[in-house]
Amino acid sequence: MQPYLELASPTITIPLSAGKLYRAAPANLLVTSESEAMASSMAYIAACAAALATLVVALLRWAYRWSHPKCRGRLPPGSMGVPLLGETMQFFAPNPSCDVSPFVKERVRRYGSIFKTSVVGRQVVVSADPDMNYFVFQQEGKLFESWYPDTFTEIFGRDNVGSLHGFMYKYLKTLVLRLYGQENLKAVLLAETDAACRRSLASWAAQPSVELKEGLSTMIFDLTAKKLIGYEPSKSSESLRKNFVAFIRGLISFPVNIPGTAYHECMEGRKKAMKVLRGMMKERMADPERRCDDFFDHVIQELRREKPLLTETIALDLMFVLLFASFETTALALTLGVKLLTENPKVVDALREEHDAIAKNRKDPDAPVTWAEYRSMTFTNQVIMEMVRLANIVPGIFRKALQDVEIKGYTIPAGWGVMVCPPAVHLNPDIYEDPLAFNPWRWQGKPEITGGTKHFMAFGGGLRFCVGTDLSRVLMATFIHTLVTKYSWRTVKGGNIVRTPGLSFPDGFHIQLFPRN
């Protein structure tokens, strides 16, 4: 039987092989199915297009809200940058000079001395205006409070002294001043800093060269860590020093916590340093008969009170911050200071004139520096002021608005950060003539600065003026005294600087010391 096609309605029979018949759908049903499939596809495409359009509109609205934040008044001019990232990349861009960072300089030129931006995910108003800076510092606890970006808080600890307010901050400040206040400086620390400077410089003079930043960091860390935690270089606490080196390298870096980044290394350094401190605390807490030999022992005593104001977390974060702040900032300022002295021999001559006169007035020229001698170092104090003005170790001081604040015709919304920018003030040609020049004589005849002012804030300002200021000045003065009276020096290599935005010496600063005739 031959295959055949039967074209009869209502079905089509298609014999394809012997004994097998297949029933095909009617032609009108095929057309209907194709139409339904096409309609379904079109509906799916339309739904996807609608969803995509909704997403695009939502993203555009979000991006618009990011770049145009809500404000009840008039926000300062500026740019919020790319959503989420803001202008973080520009903020951390390297700056190989002592000048104001390009990030601030370009925006001040474009927008004025007060501008808005976004850094590490936070909305911030940056101030290069001396009057606004002073106002912000004076309104601590009223309109503003101390605040730092989350990345800084992660590094320093959630309960670090910079994040505490009111009574607790004042209590901790009083506690720290037992160690760093003028009474203890006169009685103990002046002699100890003088001896440390003499030992270190004598040791360096016996070497072909010394990397000054590393040498100063070690010297000051050994000195201050002994007072803080009973540190001895030859004992197990040496690991703490190494962890702080790792911590410092990533302190002011791009906040990406991924293995291999400086920030990750910094966080790992913090973990290890805190582990050492916790071990020390546990050991001391278990020994109620232990004598008070250092500052940590006094902190432990506070924790043992019946109703202590401190918690263990606050105590550990306090010790961590003090160990860092006590040595790194002063070491950086002194390293840059010696570099500036090397480039300005007239300043060295003037320093030698002052310090040789001090030594000649002693019965024993090699006797330690006395408090009266330290207070008589007028030109040295001018040199130190000029060093820290140009060093600008702290590129920004952060506060947070507690409510909407009206100032200079602008509104700072509640919750926004404020970054006071000391370099923009210290290097302002309207305030300091030829601001990049190292000129200690510019301070001649001016009253001694004992707190932050509108035009000088190297040590902070307001209620949070740095409690270690007097110790830093004593350290710098005693180091300069021994350096210029006992030695001459020359640069071996390095000395170039980079700010990202914190100051660093990527190639170090190597010098060779010679006994002075």
What single string gives the DSSP state of each residue in 178-234?
HHHSHHHIIIIIHHHHHHHHHHHHHHHHTSS-EEHHHHHHHHHHHHHHHHHH---TT
What single string gives the DSSP state of each residue in 433-447?
SSTTS--GGGGTTPP
Query: Looking only at Cα atoms, what is the longest distance across the chain?
Result: 138
Question: What pLDDT shows up at residue 199?
Answer: 96
Tell whether 13 is covered by a domain.
no
**Range of the structural domain that residue 116 is part of:** 87-515
Binding-site residue ranges for heme: 466
Tell whether 357 is covered by a domain.
yes
Tell whether 212 is covered by a domain.
yes
Mapped onto helix, strand or coil, the DSSP state of residue 513 is strand
How many CA atoms are closer than 13 Å to the CA of 167, on its beta-carbon side? 2
Question: What pLDDT shows up at residue 27?
Answer: 54
Tell whether 197 is covered by a domain.
yes
Tell whether 199 is covered by a domain.
yes
Q: pLDDT by residue for the chain (517 residues), tens digit each?
A: 444 334 334 444 444 444 444 455 555 555 566 677 777 778 788 888 888 888 888 777 777 777 788 889 999 999 999 888 899 889 988 899 999 999 999 999 999 999 999 988 889 999 999 999 999 999 988 999 988 877 777 777 777 766 777 778 888 888 888 888 889 999 999 999 999 999 999 999 999 999 999 999 999 999 999 999 988 776 654 567 777 775 655 666 667 778 878 788 888 888 888 888 899 899 999 888 888 889 999 999 999 988 888 889 999 988 988 888 878 889 999 999 999 999 999 999 999 999 999 999 999 988 999 999 999 999 999 999 999 999 999 889 999 999 999 999 999 999 999 999 999 999 999 999 999 999 999 999 888 777 778 999 998 887 777 888 999 999 999 999 999 999 999 999 999 999 988 888 999 999 999 999 7
pLDDT digits (tens, 9 = 90+) for 273-316: 888 889 989 999 988 888 888 999 999 999 998 888 888 999 99
Binding-site residue ranges: 466
Rounded to two decimals, the pTM is: 0.85
Q: Which residue has the tokens 């861009």?
A: 93
Tell whether 53 is covered by a domain.
no
Tell whether 49 is covered by a domain.
no
Q: What is the CATH number of the domain that holds 136?
A: 1.10.630.10
Contact predicate 388/427, CB 8 Å: no
Question: What pLDDT shows up at residue 338?
Answer: 98
Domain count for the chain: 1
Question: What pLDDT shows up at residue 201?
Answer: 98
| Spatial distance between the Cα atoms of 131 and 501, rounded to a whole number of angstroms | 23
Question: What pLDDT shows up at residue 237?
Answer: 46
Question: What pLDDT shows up at residue 450?
Answer: 73
Tell whether 32 is covered by a domain.
no
